[in-house]
Structure 1
C-alpha cells in the first residue's frame, strides 16, 4: 500500500525549507460543544514573540456549514479551550496579561465575525495549570499552585532561595472558582497531595480527583490515588491507590450505577501497555475491586473520553493505524466503531455522544481537526498548513515483516522525494521512535524529531521501525523490554533493515541511524553493536541506564527499563550490560549529539558522559547543547539549527 503525503500540486512544486517546517501552524486540543453544533480548537505557530510558539483559539461548525472563525489574535499562548455547559460561552487559558503565566479567560459567542473580546476570570499569581467547567454553569474547578506569600517574595528578591529536596516543587491544589463573584475557594480535604486531573460526574454529582503524593514524576506516578469530592460540603472520600501513570478518569452509568474508569499501565507492571481500569465507587471508604477492561487485547488504548449520556469512547493504537472504540456496558468490553489508516488524537464528544471531533492525520494529509457523527464519516474542518501541498514529498509505504524469532512486525518506509523503489538502492536513515512505549504511525509527520520527510526531500530513504517495547500490539509486546532494552528491539530493527537491503532499497554502504530520547539511546546502542552505520545522530539520548535511574525524572521507571540501579550493590549490574557507554570502545561511527541544557527527563549529563567517552577513544563526533531547552526543542532558532545540522551531518557522511 503506497501513497504520497500530502499530494503536491504537480505543476508547481516548492522546495522544502527548514523555515517551512518550523513555522507550520498546527491544530491542537479540539473541543466539541455540549450541544454538538460547534468545535473549538487551538492553532499553534512559531510566529509569536521571542521566537517561541504562540497560539490562537478558533471555532468551526461541526457540520462544516460555516468557515472556521478565529476568536483570539494569536499574540499570546491562548490554549485549552473548553465549553460552558450551555454551549453559549467558551473558556480558555492565556498568558496575554503576563508572559508565561496562564489565567482563565471566557468568550461569549455572539456570532460576530470579528475577533472576540475575552473576559479575564482569574488573576491568580502563579497561574492556572488546568481547569474543568462544572455542570451548574456557575463554578469552574481550577488546578493551581499556592500563590506566593510575602515571605516567598522576600526570599526571591534577596536570593535566599535554598531548596529542600522533596519540598522544592510547589503542589497543585484543587480550587473552585465562583463565576458570579470571582471568589476562589481551596478544597482542603486533600491535604498536601498534588492534584493532576479532575472531572465531574455528568449528573452534577461529585468530582473525581486524581492526585500524587508529590509533584515529582518519581515517585509521583507510582503514588496515584483517586478521590471523590462533594461540591456542597467539600468532603473528600479516598478511593485508594490506582495504577502507575494513572490518567483520564471518566464517569459512566449503567442501570443506575455509576462507574469510574481510568487509564493506567497494566496492573502489576511498571513497564507495559496502558489498560482501561474500571471500578464502582462505594458509598463510603476505599474501592473494593478494580477491573482491567482491556486485558488480552492486542490493541492498546491511548485515550479515554467521558460521554455524559452514554458509555465512554476510547482511541486504540492498532499497529500503524488508530481505531475508535466504545465500551459495551453489558459485556464490559470495548467494541470497535471505526478505524483509520494513520493517527487519531485529542478525541472529544458532545453531551449526547452523537458528535465527536478529533485530530486526524494520514500519510497523505497533515494533522487537522475533523468532526462528524460517532459512526462516521468525519469531515475536515481545519486547514492550517495548505502550503504543504506545494511540496513534492517522498512516497510513504507500510512495511510488514518478521523478527528473527518469527514475531510479526510493522514499520514505514519513506522513499526519496520523486523517486521509486526501482531507482534504488538509496542512502537510508533508520529513525527509531522514543518511549520506548510509542510507535511510528502511518501519518504525515514533519517536526524536528520526526523529520523523515525532511530527509526524504534531500534524497534519503527513511526507515521507521516499530520494534518490541512500543504500543499498538498489546501488553506483552510492550512489556518485553523491561530490564532488556537494546535486546529484542535491536534485532527487530535489524530484521527490517536487512529486508530493505535485500530488496535493493537501502545501500548497505550508506546507512545512517538516528532517534530522540529512547530513540537516541537506540542510535547510541546500535553503533556500539555494529559498524554498518556510516553516521549516527543521538538526540536527548540515554548513554548510561544506571545514571539515568539515579538522576532522570522518571527514576524507578527508568530503572525498570535498564534492569537495575547503582545502589543494587558493587556490580556488575544489568544496566551496565544494557548501556551504550559500556560499548563505546567499539564505536567507529561518526556521531552528532544534540541535547537540551535544561532537560530533566534525560539530563544533560547523559550526553556529556557519552561525549567524553567518545573523545577518550578518538571517535569522530560533534556535541551540540541547546540553552534553555528541555527534553524537546521549542525555540525557533534551535529548531532551525537542529534541522540544518541533521541534514548536513548525513550529507557529509553518507
Structure 2
C-alpha cells in the first residue's frame, strides 16, 4: 500500500520550486588569459528562446580586483571562449546570426554587454564546431563540417534525403582561417577522417591532431589516430593509432625532445579507467611506442592541460575529491600538488602555468569559477546563482563502507532538509550514477537528472553510491564490470543501503531507486533482483544489452559491458543474463520510465521494450517520452515535468 508523502520542510524564503532548480544559471568553460590577468567563461541559463538553453560570455580579473563583466547579452548561444595568444582579444562562438549554426566571433575583453563590438570572423554555412587560435596571432584552426553544395540544397528542398548508412553523418574537417583576409583553407591531407581535437606545439611548431576514421562513435572512438600538421603548408604526417576514447592531446618538452601526451582508456581495454599516455614523435614515419604514465595509480585522470613553459598539469578523480597533479619530466610519474573536495572541472592554465582557473563547488554551493596559483588558495570569481545561498539544504554526508567482499567503497548521503540522523528512519531514494565510468563527488548537484536536494526538500533521504565500474579508484575498480554489469556493482549498492538501514537512517519499508542512463539500467536491474523497493525511476536506461549493442551509438563498447552481441550465434547469450528484460516476470515494483524520443545513445526502443514487458506482466508503471530530446533533457518544460513527475511518483508510492 502507498504511504503518505513525507513532510517537506519550509525554507526561509519558501519552498524550493522546480522553476528555481531549472532556471539556475551555471558557469561553464573557464579559460585564463595567457598573461594570467583575466578569466573568461560562459554562463548558461534555460529561460531563453523556446525554452532552450542560451548562454553569455563573461570576463573577470583573475585576482578578484574587479567584478565580473558580461561581454555578450545572452540572447543567443555565445560559447567556447578562448584567448588570442597575446591576451588582447577574446574569441567565442555564437549562433546569433542563425540559430543552431555557430560562427566564430572576436571581442575586446574591455567591452561591456555590447555584442555590436564583437567582430564576426566566419560566415561558414556549415557552422563552426570548435576552433583553436594559433601562436602566430594571424591564424585560427577551425573544426567545421563541409558547407552545403547546390546539390545538397536541391535535395533538401525536394525532400530527396535518403541516407546511406556510414556516410549519413557529416565529417568535421581541419581548416585554417586567415584572420587578415577571412579566407578559410581546408587541410586535405587528412582525407575523410573526422577531426576531434587539436593543439599546437608551444613554440609555434606543428599541430597535434586527433581524428577518427568516421564521425560515428562506434567505430570512431576505436579508430582514433594521431597526426602532425604543419599549419603553414598543410603537410600531414601520421603518427599511428592511439587508444580508445583518446582526448586532450598536449605537448611538453623533456631535455630538448618534444613529447605528446593524451588521455585514453587504459591500453588493451574497452572498459576501464582513463590513463595518461605519452609518446615521442619520431622524425619520420609513424610513432609506435606509447607509455602509460598512470600504471598502478588509484586515482583516475579526468583532464590534461598543456603548459607552455613546463610539463603538463592534470586533474584526477580521487574518491569523492579531485586532485591536481603535475608530470615530473625526469621520473615520468605524475605527482600530486593539492586536493579539493568535489569534482573540479574545466582546468585552464596561464602561459607560464603559474595561475589556474577551474570550476569548483562545495557540498552546499553550486559550481563557480575560481582562480589562483598552482597549489595555492583559489578565489571564487563568479556568483551565478546567489539566490541559492539563503536557502536551506539537506546535510550532505561523506560515506565510507565495505562491500560484501571487503572492498572499501564511498558515497554520499543527503538527509532530508531540516532533519538529523537521530530523527530517522526516513524514506530513502538511492540514485545510481550513469556511465558506469562516472562518480558522485562531494559537491553540490541539483538538476533535472541528479535531483538529490530536490527530493531532500520533500522529506526524503537520498543515497548516492559509488559502486564498482566508476572512476576515482583506479583501473581495476573500473574494469571489473566488463561483461558483468549488475554483478559486483549491484551488491556494492545493496551493501550501502543495508548499512543505512542498520544505522537507522533508512526505513526498510520505504525504499526507492532511480538513475539515468547506466543508472537507469541499474534501477531496472534492481527491481528484477529484489522486491524491497517500493518505487523506481528508470531514466534513459538499458533494458536489453543485446539490443543496445546493435542499435546504441556506442555499439561494441556496450557489448563489452553487456558481455556479448546478438550475432554471436543462437544463444543463450551472456548479455541475456545481464539484461533487466530477462527478469521482467519477477518485477512487482511500480516503475516510472522517462526517455528522450531522439536518444541515439540509448535508443527509445529500450524503454518501449521494457514498457511492453511490464504491461504484459501487469506491473504498475508509466512511460513518458520527451519529444526532440536526446540522452538528456534540455528543454525547460521537459526538465520541469521530469522534476515534478519524479517527486510525485515517490510521494505516491513511498
With the length of structure 2 as denominator, give the TM-score of the two structures. Answer: 0.98
For 1:96, what is the secondary structure of its paired residue?
strand
What's the secondary structure of 1:548's corresponding residue?
A: helix
* Equivalent position of 1:593 in the other structure: 593
Q: What corresponds to 1:562 in structure 2?
A: 562
Determine the structure 1 residue equivalent to 2:371.
371
Distance in 1, matches of 2:613 and 2:47, equals 40
1:65-93 residue CA offsets vs partner (Å, 9 max, x unmatched): 00000000000000000000010000000
Where does residue 102 of structure 2 map in the other structure? 102
TM-fit CA distance, 1:342? 1.0
Partners of 2:67 and 2:518 in 1: how far apart? 41
Say yes or no: does 1:305 pair with 2:331: no
Q: Give the whole-Å Cα distance in 2 for the aligned partners of 1:319 and 1:603.
A: 31
Which residue pairs with 1:5 in the alignment?
none
Instruction: Report if the CA contact (8 A) 1:169-1:215 is conserved.
Output: yes
1:348 corresponds to which residue? 348
The structural deviation recorded for 1:116 is 6.6
Alignment-derived partner of residue 238 in structure 2: 238
C-alpha distance in 1 between matches for 2:639 and 2:331: 48
Q: Report the equivalent of 1:7.
A: none
| 1:451-490 matches, cutoff 5 A | 451-490=451-490
**Cα deviation per residue 1:412-471 (whole Å; 9 max; x = unaligned)?**
000000000000000000000000000011000001111000000000000000000000
Matches within 5 A, 1:101-250: 101-110=101-110, 117-250=117-250
Residue 508 of structure 2: aligned partner: 508
Could you tell me whether the CA contact under 8 Å between 1:392 and 1:417 is conserved in 2?
Answer: yes
Distance 1:230 1:122 in 2: 22
Whether the 8 Å contact between 2:94 and 2:102 is mirrored in structure 1 is yes
Moved more, 102-111 or 40-49: 102-111
Residue aligned with 1:85, SS:
coil
- For 1:524 and 1:117, locate their aligned partners in 2 and report how far apart those are by CA, in whole Å: 52
- Residue by residue over 1:121-172, the C-alpha shift from the partner in whole angstroms, topping out at 9 and shown as x without a partner, is 0000020000000000000000000100000000010001111100111111
Q: Please name the residue that 2:6 is paired with.
A: none
Query: Aligned to 1:448, what secondary structure does the other structure show?
Result: coil
In structure 1, the partner of 2:61 is 61
Question: Whole-Å Cα distance in 2 between the matches of residues 543 and 634 of structure 1?
Answer: 23
In structure 1, the residue matched to 2:646 is 646
CA distance in 1, matches of 2:592, 2:376: 46
Going from structure 1 to structure 2, the CA distance change for 1:192 and 1:509 (only over 3 Å counts) comes to same
Alignment of 1:432-443 (within 5 A): 432-443=432-443
* Aligned 1:304-323 pairs, distance under 5 A: 304-323=304-323
CA distance in 2, matches of 1:364, 1:564: 43
User: Does the CA-based 8 Å contact 1:345-1:360 persist in structure 2?
Assistant: yes
Deviates more, 1:115-124 or 1:476-485: 115-124
* DSSP 3-state at the match of 2:397: strand
* 1:365 Cα offset (Å): 1.7
Distance across 2 between alignment mates of 1:112 and 1:516: 40
Displacement after TM superposition at 1:232 (Å): 2.1
C-alpha distance in 2, partners of 1:114/1:172? 31
The answer for the alignment partner of 1:578 in structure 2 is 578
Distance in 2 (alpha carbons) for counterparts of 1:506 and 1:11:
23
CA distance in 1, matches of 2:178, 2:159: 36
Instruction: Please give the alpha-carbon distance, in whole angstroms, between the structure 1 residues aligned to 2:545 and 2:109.
Output: 52
Corresponding position of 2:3: none
Structure 1 residue 109, shift from structure 2 partner: 2.8
1:196 Cα offset (Å)? 0.6
Conserved? CA contact 1:545–1:559, under 8 Å: yes
- What is the deviation of 1:510? 0.3
1:47 deviation in Å? Answer: 1.8
TM-superposed deviation, 1:12: 3.5
Shift of 1:62: 0.2
- Aligned equivalents of 1:400, 1:62: Cα separation in 2: 36
- C-alpha distance in structure 2 between counterparts of 1:284 and 1:32, whole Å: 35
1:636: how far off? 0.2
Decide whether the 8 Å contact of 1:107 with 1:116 is kept in 2: no
Q: SS at the partner of 1:629?
A: coil
**Structure 1: distance between partners of 2:528 and 2:641:** 27
Structure 1 residue 11, shift from structure 2 partner: 9.4
Unaligned runs of 5+ in 1: 1-9
- Matching residue of 2:268: 268
For 1:91, the equivalent position in structure 2 comes to: 91
| 4+ aligned runs moved over 2 Å, structure 1 | 10-14, 109-116
Displacement after TM superposition at 1:111 (Å): 6.0
Give 1:498's aligned residue: 498
Q: Verify the 8 A CA contact 2:132 2:141 in the aligned structure 1.
A: yes
Partner of 1:431: 431
| Alpha-carbon distance between aligned partners in 1 of 2:477 and 2:271, rounded to the nearest angstrom | 11
* In structure 1, distance between residues paired with 2:276 and 2:112: 42
The reply on whether 1:604 has 2:612 as its aligned counterpart is no
Q: Distance in 1 between matches of 2:355 and 2:73?
A: 28
Q: Secondary structure at the match of 1:109?
A: coil
**Is contact 2:11–2:391 with CA below 8 Å preserved after alignment?**
no
TM-score by length of 1: 0.98
In 1: Cα distance, 2:465 partner to 2:184 partner = 50
CA distance in 1, matches of 2:631, 2:112: 41
Taking the aligned partners of 1:444 and 1:420, their CA distance within structure 2 comes to 19
Specify the SS of the correspondent of 2:471.
coil
SS at structure 2 position matched to 1:576:
helix
How many residues are matched?
Answer: 645
Looking at structure 1, the residues matched to 90 and 281 of structure 2 have their Cα atoms a distance apart, in angstroms, of: 31
2:73, 2:113 within 8 Å by CA — same for their partners in 1?
no
For the aligned residue pairs, the C-alpha RMSD in angstroms reads 1.0
CA drift of 1:489 comes to 0.2
User: In the TM superposition, what is the alpha-carbon distance from 1:234 to its structure 2 partner?
Assistant: 1.2
Asked if the contact 1:343–1:362 (Cα under 8 Å) also holds between the matched residues in 2, the reply is no
Partner residue of 1:74?
74
